[in-house]
Amino acid sequence: MATLDTIDATNAPKKVLLYGMSKTGKTLQAMKLAEAGYNIKFIGGENGHLVGKQLTQEAQKRVDVIQLPDTVTNPCMMQALAHLFKGGEFKPCIEHGLNKCMVCIGASKPFNYLKIADCGPKDIIVLDSMTQWGNSILAHMALKQSEDWTPEWEHWRKQGAILDMGLGVIQNSTKNWIVITHEIAHENQAGDEKIFPMAGTRNFSRNAAKYFDTVVYCEVVNGKHVFASRTTYKNKVVTGDRMGVQIESTDKGLLPIFEADLSGNKPTGAAAALAALGKK
């Protein structure tokens, strides 16, 4: 039996949940890790990969894009990710985004391919986004329903079960992951509002952070993109990093998380008070 002091958390695979409102720099921030030498395996359902054109040419070569053209009538993201999480690999066609699409096989059309086990310590699988994935699950259920169909409790339960299965795979994976999603507000009985990462229903969203080592909130403040991982960043916003990395104290983006770099951390609480006294 291992004791805590013998466990190497520094080199452990990182599972990061990156969330915030639209256009707060989430996808570009994830892709910028390519400029630090990481290889990005980008699985997208929202055309977010196009922001990666802002990277250097050399960094763009380290970003592999698997774009899933997910729509209400073609909820391919649900189908493709189900194969990825259950089998550890998937082969979606470029045209429809469907795993092992028989139409494209028959027409000898091109496919993408990703096997989780083939990823190494310098590879990061980026899923963009959990919002679209949740929508795709519901759209898949609606395919055989009438046009005026609305989800009922059982459909929301099934959505949660599918998200739980996929997120559980990520949680226990030996590979690096970044999952991008949007934000959702939840009001408690006292009327206080808190912001959570969006993952299907509000109830499921409240616990989505448990699957990840790091939860990063993204926002625009005074015309600048701000990315925060400190547990106490804001009382009404869910954030945190199990290693205690505070990326809002640096200008290195997400890199300190993957390098387990605490050098940019600012002391807080009693430590901050002692540091202030030491400067006097």
* CB distance 183 to 20 below 8 Å: yes
Identify the residue whose tokens are 């707060």: 24
**What is the per-residue pLDDT for 266?**
65
- Among 255, 218, 227, CA closest to 122: 255
Across the strands, what pairs with 20?
218
**What is the per-residue pLDDT for 69?**
97
The pair of structure tokens assigned to 112 is 């993408």
Amino acid identity of residue 161, one-letter, is A
CATH superfamily of 13-278: P-loop containing nucleotide triphosphate hydrolases (3.40.50.300)
The per-residue DSSP string of 54-89 comes to GS-HHHHTTEEEEE----SS--HHHHHHHHHHHHSE
* Strand residue runs (E) in 70-148: 89-90, 114-115, 123-128
Amino acid identity of residue 77, one-letter, is M
Helix then strand count (H, E) for the chain reads 9, 12
Q: pLDDT tens, position by position, for the chain (280 residues)?
A: 888 877 777 788 999 999 999 999 999 999 999 999 999 999 999 988 999 999 999 999 999 999 999 999 999 999 999 999 999 999 999 999 999 999 999 999 999 999 999 999 999 999 999 999 999 999 999 998 998 999 999 999 999 999 999 999 999 999 999 999 999 998 877 778 999 999 999 999 999 999 999 999 999 999 999 999 999 999 999 999 999 999 998 889 999 999 988 776 765 554 454 444 444 4
Give the separation between CA 256 and CA 191, rounded to whole angstroms: 36
Q: Which residues contact 13 (CB under 8 A, 6 or more apart)?
A: 121, 173, 174, 175, 176, 177
Rounded (10°) angle between helices 153-171 and 76-87: 40
